[in-house]
Structure 1
Amino acid sequence: MSKVAVVILNWNGSEMLRTFLPSVIGYSAISGVDVYVADNASTDNSVSVLTKEFSSVKQILLDQNYGFADGYNKALEQIEADYFVLLNSDVEVTEHWLEPMIAYLDTHPEVAACQPKILSWRQKDSFEYAGACGGFMDRYGYPFCRGRIMGIVEKDHGQYDDILPIFWATGAALFIRSSDYRNAGGLDGRFFAHMEEIDLCWRLRSRGRELVCIPQSVVYHVGGATLKKENPRKTFLNFRNNLLMLYKNLSESELLHVMTVRCILDYVAAFTFLLKGELPNMTAVFQARKEYNALRKDFRASRETNLEKTSLQVIPERIKKSILAQYYWGRKKYFSQLNMSYLNK
């Protein structure tokens, strides 16, 4: 059994493998680390490229495209390691990227998972949208990051280089104990893609496990390589899965209020798409809410299990107020401007 398994999930991404896999192989060549590519039944030449050009990489060939969530679940079932690293195929890693995370988890048994500092591959002096320097969430399910609030992405000046407890670690580079991954039930395959890592982290955090960002480890993420930011399919998955995540994890005392407010905010988002002329995205919001209502009964058992296993009723990294209000009315565009103590009162 290896100590660390770096696992890249691939689907029709042969060119990304050629571009980014060399850095992963080169900078992960330390004792006890194995690199895997799990292929989600690609129809391009991905498997051939792996076999001919990256023979040192272990392959896991899945029989169909299971999506991000179940693709990882199926792959990780076949791997034995102390730590898993779920790494997107469009991530360029840097020298010594693994060592700080290994050292921290080795000495902090209370921490289930961590992430590195995520910078943009295209603008390497700036944070990357999906993860930045660690994820947080507001009362109504809106995720934000240290280094990114709403659409504002900050430049990296070392302002967030301290190790900090977080609510969620990005699935682009998620370093997690295999025991915690399995004990929490892994990623929810019903999500297919998007929000699944936040849902997993919420389960871990509510059960008393901790998550941190370790900025001494740095990677560069392209982002949006599978579905572009404005893609209606991505809009649909983000809205639907966010609602399902809230339903699965919210306490009984919060559920009605939060979901009522979210209904209003979702219709505001749909109207905003309409004003911008983005009719497919507007339709995606309505479709997401419709499917959430249809699927909710199928998630009742998961909700009951999560509530039964919850030991941490108040999670400090999930703020009690609205990040939308802070952003639009409070004009707080940067994480450093947020008063986290105030937001948790």
Structure 2
Amino acid sequence: MKIAIGIKALNEATKIEAALRSALAAVEPYGGTVLLADSGSSDATVEIARRLPVVVVQLANRDERSCGAGAQLAFQHLDADYFCLIDGDMTLVPGFIEASLAYLDANPDVAGVGGQVIERNLEAEEFQIRAAAMAREAHRRAGPVDRLDGGGVYRMRAIREVGYFSDRNLHSFEEFDLAARLTSRGWTLVRIDVPAVEHRGHSGNGYRLLLYRLTSGQMGGAGEVLRASIGKPHFGLVVRRLGHVRKAVVIAGWWLSLVLALWRAPVVAAALVIVPVAWLGWRRGSLALGLYSFAMWNALAVGLIGGLFRRRVPPTRPLASVAFTRLPPAP
């Protein structure tokens, strides 16, 4: 098989049909397969998928739920020359799969190809900040990159060489972890100047979303990646390239300074809060986004510490799953 597309999802009933249909259209010229890897949805996500010509599998143990587990669940059920993974709130842009396969066929030293991610929902503060950051981040520009955030098409041979696609222990940063493992083995990743996916993230209050990411473990992803790399060939790459680690160190130093200032100099303590919020507000273009960034940086530091000490299981251990048969089309 030339190409297989996996879509990982959790409670994406309002978006999953569009995601699946975009994937089906993309693989049709190649006779490829589309698979939904569901992490235990309680809505109609699975039922909707079962009425389409796709493979549907679901995580058997919901306690194993994580971003990394969802991605690995899709990978372990598919076999093709190339593998593409997207989220259930994304749709593939026509032409991206064709362009990425042509690039990979012409460049055998490249392990994966990504394209441009188009953010469609900018209601929440997090996605407003992310959309603005995309214009500045080096790994979002066309050319060789150190990660493929937002999904991509990967050479299956390269993935097998590094043992597994996604670390099932990771609650976020699974794409960064994969990139670090691949590049440490000499593989290259490239982003091409072609629209790849449209992303429609969660809407609603940004602080509620931030609290969810913290309590669900997603904020601990950077710490989990760091711990997983200890003693491995890609440890140095993780330390150098994962900016969240440096941010967490800065925030930890800020916490210590704040405690000392509260004890000795309350005026200095006030400045230690006001100055970073003001600076972030200036950088983000609004005080509201600056305050949100300040809260997010602190949440990242808390999450990183928790992720460093979270229990791990071998990332190569297969995930137990349940397969579903196809339902007849809805009347």
Please give the TM-score of this superposition, normalised by the length of structure 2: 0.66
Gaps of 5+ in 2: 256-271, 278-290, 316-331
Match of 2:303 in 1: 288
Deviation at 1:260, TM superposition (A): 9.3
Match of 1:245 in 2: 225
**Contact persistence 2:222–2:244 (CA under 8 A):** no
| Residue 45 of structure 2 corresponds to residue 46 of structure 1 | yes
Change (3 A) 1:292 1:16: closer
Equivalent position SS for 1:15: coil
Change (3 A) 1:58 1:261: closer
**Contact persistence 1:90–1:225 (CA under 8 A):** no
* Distance in 1 (alpha carbons) for counterparts of 2:108 and 2:129: 26
Match of 1:157 in 2: none
Change (3 A) 1:43 1:117: same
After TM superposition, list the pairs within 5 Å mapping 1:172-251 onto structure 2.
172-184=150-162, 185-191=164-170, 193-224=171-202, 230-235=209-214, 237=217, 240-247=220-227, 248=229, 249-251=234-236
Deviation at 1:13, TM superposition (A): 1.2
Deviation at 1:228, TM superposition (A): 5.4
Q: Which moved more, 1:231-240 or 1:71-80?
A: 231-240
Equivalent position SS for 2:77: coil
After TM superposition, list the pairs within 5 Å mapping 1:298-337 onto structure 2.
none
Change (3 A) 1:176 1:280: same
Gaps of 5+ in 1: 133-143, 155-159, 303-345
> Match of 1:31, as an amino acid?
Y
Change (3 A) 1:239 1:174: same
Note the alpha carbon deviations across 1:149-173, whole angstroms, 9 max, x for none. Answer: 49xxx9xxxxx5xx40000001x32
Match of 1:93 in 2: 92
Deviation at 1:108, TM superposition (A): 0.9
> Match of 1:109, as an amino acid?
P
> Match of 1:121, as an amino acid?
R
Matched residues, percent identical?
Answer: 21
Equivalent position SS for 1:234: helix
> Match of 1:30, as an amino acid?
P
Match of 1:57 in 2: 54
| Residue 264 of structure 2 corresponds to residue 267 of structure 1 | no
Change (3 A) 1:131 1:214: farther
**Contact persistence 1:180–1:204 (CA under 8 A):** yes
Q: How many residue pairs align between the two structures?
A: 267
Note the alpha carbon deviations across 1:251-288, whole angstroms, 9 max, x for none. Answer: 39x79xx9996554123677769964899857744642
Deviation at 1:216, TM superposition (A): 2.6
**Contact persistence 1:130–1:223 (CA under 8 A):** no
> Match of 1:165, as an amino acid?
P
Note the alpha carbon deviations across 1:101-151, whole angstroms, 9 max, x for none. Answer: 01111111100111111112247xxxx87998xxxxxxxxxxx75x2449x
**Contact persistence 1:266–1:285 (CA under 8 A):** no
> Match of 1:166, as an amino acid?
V
Deviation at 1:98, TM superposition (A): 0.8
Change (3 A) 1:272 1:168: farther
Equivalent position SS for 1:98: helix
* Distance in 2 (alpha carbons) for counterparts of 1:204 and 1:31: 26
Change (3 A) 1:244 1:96: same
Equivalent position SS for 2:191: strand
Of structures 1 and 2, the one with the larger relative CO (CA 8 A, separation 6+) is: 2
